[in-house]
Amino acid sequence: MTAIPALGALVGAVSLSQWARTLPAVIAGGVMGEFGLSEAGLAAATAMVHLGFAVGQVPSGVALDRVGPRLTASVLLVIATAGLALTAAAPGAWSLALGQFLTGLGCSGVFMAGLMVTAQLLPPDRFGQVAGLMPALSGLGLLASGTPSAWLVGIAGWRAAPAAAAVAGLVCLIAAWSLVPALRPQRASQRGLGADSLDVLRLAASRGLRAPVVLAFVGYPATLALRGLWAGPWLTDRLGFGLVGTGNVLAGLSVVMSLAPALFGWLDRHVRSRARVMGFAHLAAAASLAWLPVAGGRAAPDIAAMALVGLLIGSHVLLYPMTREAAPEGGTGKALSAVNLAFFVGLVVLQPLSGLVARVAGLPGALALFAVALGAGSVAFLAMTRQPR
C-alpha cells in the first residue's frame, strides 16, 4: 500500500519533532554552564522552538491544502535540519534561540502532513485510529531524547545531541521526498493566501472550537514543559539523580507519553463523552502535577506523579476527532491547524512565564504555574462542553 511507506516516513519526521522539542531537558545543564544562562534565560531561549511551531501552524496548514503533503513536509524538514545544525554550532544564546526557532518552524506541519495522507489514502473510519497511533509510534523521538541523548552529552558534550538530531533530519528529508506520493490538493483554493490564513484564526475563535482551543492551550504545554524542560532539573537538583539516571527516567516518561495517545484513541470508541474523558483526565493531571511543588522531594512518588501527568494528558489526542466533527464543511485542515496553533501558543506563553516564576520561587514555583493553568483550563473546558439537561 502506498499509504504505509508514506506514513512511515512521516512518523519518522514526527519522531524527529518529538526529539527536537524535548532535547532541552538533557542539554539544559551544558547550555546554562557554557552561556551563563539563568533558569529564566534557558526557558526563554528553548521556548523559541515552540514559537517556531506556533508561527508555522498557519502557513503549514495553508501549504498542505495548496501544494500537498510531500512538498510541504520536505521543505519543512530542510528548515528543521538547518535549525538543529545551528543549535549544535551556536556560539551564543541568541544563535541558540534562532536555531531553536528554525527547528520548531520546520517541525510545525509534519504531523498535519501525516493526517493529510491519512485522509486522502485511507478510509474515513481509520482517521481516528491513525491519529492516535502516529504520536505513539513517534515516541521513538522521545526515547532518543532520553538515555541515548544523555549518553551522547556525557561523552561528547551538549552539542553532540542536536548534531545527531540534524543528521536524523537529513534521513527524514530523503525518506519524505522518496516515499510520500505527490498527492494533489482535494480542492484547489481560489482565494488569496491572506484570506486562507485569516480563516485559521477565525476558526480558532469560533464557538465550535473554543473548548478544544482552551484545553489545547494548557494541556499539551504542561506535559511538554515537564518532560522537555523542568523534569531534568527537578531530577538532578531536587532528587540528586545523575545525568544517565535522569536520562533513564526521562526515557520511561517517554514510553508513557508515547503509549497514552494510542490508549485513549482505543478508549474513544467505548465511552459516551470524549469531552468528559479529556476534561477529567486533564483535571487529574493538574492534581498530579501539583503534587511536585506541594509535597514532592521523594523519588518514587515524584516520578509516579510525572508519569501520571504524561499518561492523562495523552487524552489530548481526542481533540483531533472532536475538532474534525466541529469543523465547517471544507474546513477540516484549517480547523486542525487552529487547534495545533493553540498547543504551541500555550507553550510560547507559559514556558517563558514559568522561567520568570522559577527566578522568584524556584522549580516548585514553575511547576505550580502549570498545575494552576492546567486546572483552570480543564474546568473551563468542562463548563464549555457541558450538555444541557
CATH number at residue 379: 1.20.1250.20
Which value, in Å, is the radius of gyration of the alpha carbons in the chain? 19
Domain of residue 227, residue span: 3-177+194-384
Q: Is residue 182 part of a domain?
A: no
**What is the total count of domains within the chain?**
1
Structure confidence at residue 187 (pLDDT): 53
Q: Is residue 133 part of a domain?
A: yes
Q: Is residue 313 part of a domain?
A: yes
Q: Is residue 294 part of a domain?
A: yes
In contact, 291 and 194? CB cutoff 8 Å:
no
Q: Is residue 35 part of a domain?
A: yes
C-alpha–C-alpha distance, residues 257 and 313, integer Å: 8
Structure confidence at residue 102 (pLDDT): 95
Give the pTM. Answer: 0.76
Structure confidence at residue 388 (pLDDT): 45
Q: Is residue 72 part of a domain?
A: yes
Q: Is residue 183 part of a domain?
A: no
Structure confidence at residue 74 (pLDDT): 95
φ and ψ at 146, to 5 degrees?
-95, -115
Which residue positions in the chain have pLDDT lower than 50?
388-389
Q: Is residue 341 part of a domain?
A: yes
Structure confidence at residue 387 (pLDDT): 59
